[in-house]
Amino acid sequence: MKNKQYIYILMMVISFGLFTSCTDDLNQTPVAQVTSASVYANAANYKSVMAKAYASLAIAGQEKGDGNTDLGGKTSNGYLRIYFNLQELPTDEAIYTWAGGDALTKVQYIKWDATDEWVSGMYYRIYYTVALCNEFLRNATDDKIAKFSATEIADIKSYRAEVRFLRALVYSHALDMFGNVPFVTESDPVGAFFPPRKTRAELFTYVESELKAISEELPLPKANEYGRASRAASWSLLAKLYLNAKVYTGTDRNTDCITYAAKVIGGGYSLEPAYKNLFNADNDKRTNEIIFPIEADGQHTTTWGSTTYLVCGPIVGSMVASDYGVQTGWGSIRTRKQFVNQFADITGATDKRASFYTNGQTLDILDPSLKTDGYAIVKFTNKTDAGANGSNYADGLVDTDFPMIRLADVYLMYAEAVVRGGSGGNIGTAVNYVNLIRNRAYGNASGNIAQSDLTLDFLLAERGRELYWECTRRTDLIRFGKFTGSSYVWQWKGGVKDGMTVDEKYNLFPIPAADLAANPNLIQNEGFNN
């Protein structure tokens, strides 16, 4: 099972109350029964505080099932659940049953505005993690840790690099989703002040510089405890940053993407032989492919968000929850027919990644609120390799980790950067990496492609087939110029059954109205002022 020393969190260390305005949101002093001074007096506590920063991506509270929540409103759903909703529900890969009651209609139909609860929830979740990281880093400076032993100092410096990675990760999400945002680090004062605004290009430069700076301070690939960042995680995030650089800055950085993807590929990783095993209750064993996960543990990291949402949410219609290692299905999420049509054979007999449940389900979605409209997807389960349920079947909480970064994505990034004209790679190697992925999917070479098949259209479709529901789709569609506009239209895009053109302003989410009103340094993203 999972590393309990890492997953167990010193709950009392940092407990923030949220956030009513930007002046107070981004820098917080811990409010707890113990002071920061007493916590950081003990070198052993640094790991526990770091664990809280990691856990902020998975859980939303201090108690079982997100009880005693960190933050209020939609933020209580947790980072990953909100991130999934914003990255997947507006796309061709997912549709949500309870959009009206759960306030997801505007997200699902790409009609969000500056008062949207889920958009604000993502924004505040990002900055909550930033605040946790900044608090750790303020107390992990060289002068503050000088009192510890040489071994303890070395450990804390390594933790410091990991926390900087986590902060760069969530800032990369802010960069991708919101563009021009408030910016704060551990060097800024604690207390009320107006954080300055960084443009999207400036934040890109900052995230890039942070990831490069920590690359030599993090443990070598595969050398850290499972679930914690290594150099390969920072290289992978750099590759993803560079692949999207044209969107973020207006300048292609495909050569740099190839450079860092190649570093990851040279780090000793290999594809997991069975695709489905990447998404089950034993997927903490997949250290050969999973480079950076968000960990889950049904006994210790208990949440109704994270992968509990991804296992229970898609169980709809006549599906039997116990087949997937949980007691109940929520009837929440299906997929849209344009995504189903990415697979020539939807049965999974040809391409094993095609994992649709069709019994009693219609391909066409006439009414998104009907659980039977749209095929279900079976990707994440709470079953072990041996077919047993996860460790907390009784409470319906899952052990399945979320693979935020894995080798197959890096292979596909390398291939795309080559096709887009980056230097330092070659087309033959790119085709080989894609065929490694497809050979696993097909179980043989029958699905292999030739060099002439490796086009951008093919790569977008292949990224969908390989990475669906892994929170990449919105970003990918934007990079390919197909999220907004009319070049690709899917059912219920824009809120009408057959889909419609969507304004380009929706390539970004707006800055929440409350923070915009509170901080005079902020400027609303174009098109969201009314």
403-429 pLDDT per residue, tens: 999 999 999 999 999 999 999 999 999
CATH of the domain at 99: 1.25.40.390
* 402 inside domain: no
How much of the chain exceeds pLDDT 90, in percent?
86
- Beta-bridge mates of residue 334: 95
CB 208 within 8 A of CB 238: yes
How much of the chain exceeds pLDDT 70, in percent?
93
In Å, how far are 99, 371, 375, 378, 396 from 319, measured between CA atoms? 21, 11, 11, 10, 16
For the chain, helix, strand, coil in percent to 5 are 45, 5, 50
**Is the pLDDT at 275 greater than 60, yes or no?**
yes
**pLDDT at site 64:** 74
CB 175 within 8 A of CB 203: yes
**pLDDT at site 37:** 78
In Å, how far are 407, 434, 447 from 440, measured between CA atoms? 13, 10, 9
* 371 inside domain: no
**pLDDT at site 73:** 80
CB 518 within 8 A of CB 23: yes
What type of residue sits at position 105? T
> What is the mean pLDDT of the segment spanning 172-179?
98
Q: What ranges make up the beta strands (E) of 370-463? A: 376-377, 402-406
For residue 430, which of 420, 439, 419, 440 has the smallest C-alpha distance? 419
Q: Label residue 28 by pLDDT band (50, 70, 90).
A: very low
Would you call 109 helix, strand, or coil by DSSP? coil
In Å, how far are 97, 104, 308, 499 from 371, measured between CA atoms? 6, 16, 19, 20
Phi, psi dihedrals of residue 433, rounded to the nearest 5°: -65, -40
Residue 132's domain comprises 4-217+510-518
Specify the range with the lowest mean pLDDT, choosing from 6-20, 178-192, 218-232, 273-287. Answer: 6-20
Q: Label residue 36 by pLDDT band (50, 70, 90).
A: confident
* 21 inside domain: yes
Handedness of CA 381, 385, 391, 393 (dihedral sign): positive
Q: Label residue 70 by pLDDT band (50, 70, 90).
A: confident
For residue 460, which of 93, 160, 201 has the smallest C-alpha distance? 93
Q: Label residue 492 by pLDDT band (50, 70, 90).
A: very high
**pLDDT at site 4:** 35
Computed over every residue of the chain, the mean pLDDT equals 92
Question: What's the number of domains the chain is made of?
Answer: 1
For residue 14, which of 179, 143, 130 has the smallest C-alpha distance? 130
Tally Cβ neighbours within 10 Å of residue 457.
Answer: 9
With a threshold of 0.85, does the pTM exceed it? yes
* Angular region, 314: left φ>0, alpha ψ -120 to 50, beta rest: alpha
Let me know if 269 is exposed, middle or buried by CB neighbors in 10 A (0-12, 13-18, 19+). Answer: buried
Would you call 339 helix, strand, or coil by DSSP? helix
Tally Cβ neighbours within 10 Å of residue 69.
Answer: 18
**pLDDT at site 16:** 32
**pLDDT at site 33:** 52
**pLDDT at site 32:** 44
Which tokens sit at 263? 């570093």
For residue 227, which of 467, 44, 404, 14 has the smallest C-alpha distance? 404
**Is the pLDDT at 128 greater than 90, yes or no?**
yes
Q: Label residue 340 by pLDDT band (50, 70, 90).
A: very high
* 33 inside domain: yes
CB 528 within 8 A of CB 510: yes
* 79 inside domain: yes
* 129 inside domain: yes
Phi, psi dihedrals of residue 298, rounded to the nearest 5°: -65, -15
**Is the pLDDT at 76 greater than 60, yes or no?**
yes
Q: Label residue 383 by pLDDT band (50, 70, 90).
A: very high
State how far Cα 420 lies from the chain centre. 24
Q: Label residue 34 by pLDDT band (50, 70, 90).
A: low
Handedness of CA 398, 404, 406, 411 (dihedral sign): positive
* 263 inside domain: no
Helices (H), 420-481: 427-442, 456-467, 473-479
* 393 inside domain: no
**Is the pLDDT at 392 greater than 70, yes or no?**
yes
**pLDDT at site 427:** 98
